[in-house]
Amino acid sequence: MFEFHHDRDRYFEIQWLNARKYVIPFIERAHAVSSGMRVLEIGCGEGGVLKAFLEKGCTGVGVELDATRVVDANRLLEAPIDAGTIRIVSKDIYEVDLEHDLQGAFDIILLKDVIEHIHDQPRLIGWMKKFLKPDGSIFFGFPPWQMPFGGHQQICRSRVSRLPYIHLLPRPIYRAILKWKQEPVNDLMEIRDTGLSIEQFEKICRKQGYQITLSAHYLLNPIYEWKFGWKPRPQFSWLRAIPYFRNYLTTCVYYLIKPNKELV
Percent of the chain at pLDDT exceeding 70:
97
Distance between CA 67 and CA 234 in Å, rounded?
35
pLDDT for 49-97, tens place per residue? 999 999 999 999 999 999 999 999 999 999 999 999 999 999 999 999 8
The pLDDT value given to residue 261: 78
Domains and CATH numbers, the chain: 3-147+195-263 (3.40.50.150), 153-191 (no CATH)
Encode pLDDT of 165-221 as tens digits.
999 999 999 999 999 999 999 999 999 999 999 999 999 999 999 999 999 999 999
CA dihedral 111, 218, 32, 54 (to 10 degrees): 50
Structural contact between residues 63 and 91, judged by C-beta atoms closer than 8 angstroms: yes
Instruction: Kindly report the pTM of this predicted structure.
Output: 0.94
| Nearest CA-CA partner of 22 in 205, 203, 233 | 233
263 pLDDT tier (thresholds 50, 70, 90): low
Q: Is residue 1's pLDDT more than 60?
A: no
What are 14-27's pLDDT values in tens digits? 999 999 999 999 99
Q: What is the pLDDT of residue 6?
A: 66
Of residues 81, 54, 19, the one with CA closest to residue 89: 81
Tell me the pLDDT band of 5, cut-offs 50, 70 and 90. Answer: low
Q: Looking at residues 225-231, what average pLDDT do you find?
A: 94
Q: Given this model, what pLDDT does residue 189 score?
A: 95
- Distance, CA of 38 to CA of 240 (rounded, Å): 33
